[in-house]
Structure 1
Amino acid sequence: MFRQTAPRLFLGLAAAGLALTAAAGTARELRRTDRTSLKAAIAAPSRTAANVARDRYRNPEPTLAFFGVRASDTVVEIWPAGGWYTEILAPYLRRGGGTYYAASMGANGHNGMRRLMSANADLYGAIRLATFPTFEPAETGVPDGSADVVLTFRNVHNFQMGYQRGNQPYGVEAFRQMYRMLKPGGTLGVVDHRLPENASAERERTSGYIKVSTVRRLAEQAGFRFVGASEVNANPRDTADWPNGVWTLPPALRHGDEARYRAIGESDRMTLKFVRPR
């Protein structure tokens, strides 16, 4: 369970929904028109009802606002899978003159995006498909230096836990490739299941949770500068010590659909913002 040690005192700000910034003057504010357009994209009837039901856990408006995602931006989403955030981002960016890249793993990784694109070309037809990470010359990734924002939601634990090239996790190379995608001054936004800093490092390889310090180390080794953190996706009810890891909690409920797990809700999550220095 999270303890109120000195580094964790910032959690008291979570109830107020305040962002914690590491440096002054680094915020990339949304314009009023962006805010209006983002709200409209989140409220759109085209979104899947099951996805809308999870807004209270994923907090799309304050999360995207914290990352400073403007409607005119070129945005890369890493491993969007079935497209929870795609349902918001793709229409938001298309209407604002921006560009949305869905960066998926291998050919089958694009299946979810292709379903969206074929189901509603007006909303999703402009999605650009790219491979991530790329290891072979024939693979088409996001062009270097092309993105204003790169977003990765609940994926870094997978980079470290389940996906490897040879004997090495994807983490180091994944952050290097995300760095190369961004323009100088571009933003990397990371959301992931948060493991307490005093937990065993072994749990990062099995539980689906990952430490803030691990994410920061990977990002900073790749050249990113840490800008700040927000507690908008925090859940202090999550003790991060479940029998089936993070998948004990909703929506997976792999340890059984018990009322106590539903009462906890989805996982406690870090929300971290980095920048590629100019």
Structure 2
Amino acid sequence: MGDYIMAAVLSPARPAEDKARDEARQPEEIVAFAGVQRGDTIAEMAPGGGYYTRILSQTVGPEGKVYALMPAFYANREGGLDTINAIAEQYGNVEVVVVEGYDAMSLPEQVDLVWTTENYHDFANGDIGVTNAWAFDALKPGGIYFVEDHAAPGTGLAATSTLHRIDPAAVREQVAAAGFTLEAESDVLRNPADPHTAGPREFGGVTDKFAFRFRKPG
């Protein structure tokens, strides 16, 4: 693990409420597993409140860049972009891009890594084939597509809109169909005590999660 990753996680610029979530999310392990490097350009899909945006920004450093791809429905809410815009102002290498959907996004350059955490199950409720094809085209040859989400083994796509989880096998199949190769998977966020019968908000403990690193052929 690069020292720059740990420095990003330990940064005093991160808010206390983010740091309180670190034990459950293991960001230093996840960022290292995803293959984030100093100087990378990253497209972060649905960054929410910016938990990972801050870490990724400081990990790639001033020579890198993070495109924070925010869904339009956030932009249409009063104050919906306030937090992510404040992060972009604080960190000079973050650019907010408002998108109608994760299927026809346009970026000014190809990126080294497309990143999504705990959102893929939502994308799967739309045209996931188009979304994954966009991720493939957005990446440079040899680029990484990183996917982490709440697991619902053996359910296919049945739990995506009800329990806000997805079957890891379905993700592997869908992403492979877009031309990616599964390079590695991590069990750092696995929780065998999770019964997979409730949504993340209803489940009292830390959910069972999977993390995949896919590679676009070089």
- Normalized against structure 1, the TM-score is what? 0.71
* Counterpart check, 1:216 vs 2:172: yes
How many angstroms apart in 2 are the aligned matches of 1:192 and 1:157? 7
**Residue in 1 that maps onto 2:85:** 114
Question: Counterparts of 1:71-220 in structure 2 under 5 Å?
Answer: 71-95=38-62, 97-106=63-72, 108=75, 110-118=81-89, 120=90, 124-132=91-99, 133=101, 141-143=106-108, 146-161=110-125, 169-197=126-154, 199=155, 201-220=157-176
Q: Tell me, yes or no, if the aligned pair for 1:234 and 1:269 is still in contact at 8 Å.
A: yes
Question: Counterparts of 1:215-254 in structure 2 under 5 Å?
Answer: 215-242=171-198, 245-249=199-203
**Relative to 1, partners in 2 of residues 1:134 and 1:79: Cα closer, same or farther, differing over 3 Å?**
closer
Q: Tell me, yes or no, if the aligned pair for 1:134 and 1:141 is still in contact at 8 Å.
A: no
Matched residue count: 212
AA at the equivalent of 1:219: V
Q: Tell me, yes or no, if the aligned pair for 1:235 and 1:269 is still in contact at 8 Å.
A: yes
In structure 1, the residue corresponding to 2:148 is in which secondary structure? strand
Q: Tell me, yes or no, if the aligned pair for 1:67 and 1:189 is still in contact at 8 Å.
A: yes
Gap regions ≥5 residues in structure 1: 1-29, 162-168, 250-260
How many angstroms apart in 2 are the aligned matches of 1:135 and 1:55? 31
Gap regions ≥5 residues in structure 2: none
The structure with the larger Rg is 1
Shift of 1:110: 4.2
**Relative to 1, partners in 2 of residues 1:135 and 1:179: Cα closer, same or farther, differing over 3 Å?**
closer
Cα deviation digits, residues 47-73 of structure 1 (max 9, x gap): 111110111111111111111100111
How many angstroms apart in 2 are the aligned matches of 1:200 and 1:214? 6
How many angstroms apart in 1 are the aligned matches of 2:96 and 2:35? 23
> Higher relative CO (CA 8 A, sep ≥ 6), structure 1 or 2?
1
State the identity as a percent.
30
- Normalized against structure 2, the TM-score is what? 0.89
How many angstroms apart in 1 are the aligned matches of 2:92 and 2:197? 42
Cα deviation digits, residues 90-136 of structure 1 (max 9, x gap): 122234x1111111112716443112234x3xxx1331222443667
Question: Counterparts of 1:37-76 in structure 2 under 5 Å?
Answer: 37-76=4-43
How many angstroms apart in 2 are the aligned matches of 1:50 and 1:91? 18
**Residue in 2 that maps onto 1:21:** none
How many angstroms apart in 2 are the aligned matches of 1:102 and 1:76? 6
Q: Tell me, yes or no, if the aligned pair for 1:187 and 1:274 is still in contact at 8 Å.
A: yes
Q: Tell me, yes or no, if the aligned pair for 2:88 and 2:95 is still in contact at 8 Å.
A: no
Q: Which runs of 4+ in 1 moved over 4 A?
A: none
Q: Tell me, yes or no, if the aligned pair for 2:151 and 2:166 is still in contact at 8 Å.
A: yes
AA at the equivalent of 2:160: E
How many angstroms apart in 2 are the aligned matches of 1:196 and 1:213? 7
**Relative to 1, partners in 2 of residues 1:180 and 1:152: Cα closer, same or farther, differing over 3 Å?**
same
